[in-house]
């Protein structure tokens, strides 16, 4: 499983990326959690519980890391001088932490072609899901027609 691109963090995780059975295990052991936490702290200082809740929110409740995952990681990041603990118990990035997360962002290819490719790929996956849910989508028929019309305009038909 490849490391998630920081663009995934910006737009919320694609279901395709974390749909594997061993997502949490793979994510932890491939360094994903480390950079995810750094990315969250780059947005704003947070407490450990806030980090847990934000990850749960961004994964639409699919995954909620345990305190046994988050707090040891925060401790390690603090020992590496990537974050510091504030008096109000929130954690924030240090300059070194900002450099670390900045270097990871620079490693990725975030051009528009890549983003559009990812969006189309995700869209194809969602369409496959909808094709299997034919009985359940009738309530969304008008909205789906509107989406189809917008797509026709985009592709010039």
Q: Tens of pLDDT along 73-126?
A: 999 999 999 999 999 999 999 999 998 887 665 545 444 445 677 777 777 777
Range of the domain at 26: 6-107
pTM for this prediction: 0.54
- Based on the fold, state whether residues 131 and 63 are members of the same structural domain: no
Q: Quote the number of domains for the chain.
A: 2
Predicted confidence (pLDDT) per residue in 134-157, tens digit: 777 788 889 889 989 998 998 888
- From 4, 27, 40, 30, select the one nearest 118 (Cα to Cα): 4
- Based on the fold, state whether residues 10 and 27 are members of the same structural domain: yes
- Based on the fold, state whether residues 149 and 74 are members of the same structural domain: no
Predicted confidence (pLDDT) per residue in 53-82, tens digit: 998 888 888 888 889 989 999 999 999 999
What H or E segment, with its residue span, contains residue 93? strand 91-93
**Residue 22: CB partners within 8 Å, gap ≥ 6?**
none
Asked whether residue 1 is domain-assigned, the answer is no
34-51 mean pLDDT: 92
8-32 mean pLDDT: 50
Give the separation between CA 101 and CA 90, rounded to whole angstroms.
19
Give the separation between CA 119 and CA 41, rounded to whole angstroms.
26
Give the separation between CA 73 and CA 37, rounded to whole angstroms.
9
Residue 4, pLDDT > 60, answer no
CB count in 10 Å sphere of residue 154: 8
Higher pLDDT pick, 13 / 153 = 153
- Based on the fold, state whether residues 75 and 123 are members of the same structural domain: no
| 91 backbone dihedrals φ, ψ, rounded to 5° | -110, 145
Q: Three-class SS of residue 89?
A: coil
Asked if residues 4 and 55 have their Cβ atoms less than 8 Å apart, the reply is no
- Based on the fold, state whether residues 10 and 67 are members of the same structural domain: yes
**Residue 62: CB partners within 8 Å, gap ≥ 6?**
18
| 44 backbone dihedrals φ, ψ, rounded to 5° | -175, 155
- Based on the fold, state whether residues 86 and 16 are members of the same structural domain: yes
List the helix and strand counts (H, then E) for the chain. 9, 2
């Amino acid at each position: 499983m490849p490391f998630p691109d920081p663009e995934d963090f910006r737009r919320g995780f694609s279901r395709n990326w974390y749909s594997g059975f061993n997502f949490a295990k793979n994510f932890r052991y491939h360094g994903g959690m480390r950079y995810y936490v750094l990315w969250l702290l780059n947005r704003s200082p947070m407490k450990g519980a806030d980090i847990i809740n934000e990850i749960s929110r961004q994964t639409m409740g699919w995954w909620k890391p345990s305190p046994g995952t988050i707090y040891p990681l925060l401790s390690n990041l603090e020992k590496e001088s990537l974050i510091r603990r504030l008096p109000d118990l929130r954690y924030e990035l240090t300059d070194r932490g900002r450099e670390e997360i900045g270097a990871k962002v620079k490693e990725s290819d975030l051009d528009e072609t890549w983003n559009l490719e990812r969006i189309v790929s995700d869209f194809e996956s969602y369409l496959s899901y909808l094709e299997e849910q034919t009985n359940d989508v009738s309530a969304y028929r008008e909205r789906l027609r509107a989406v189809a019309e917008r797509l026709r305009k985009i592709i010039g038909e």
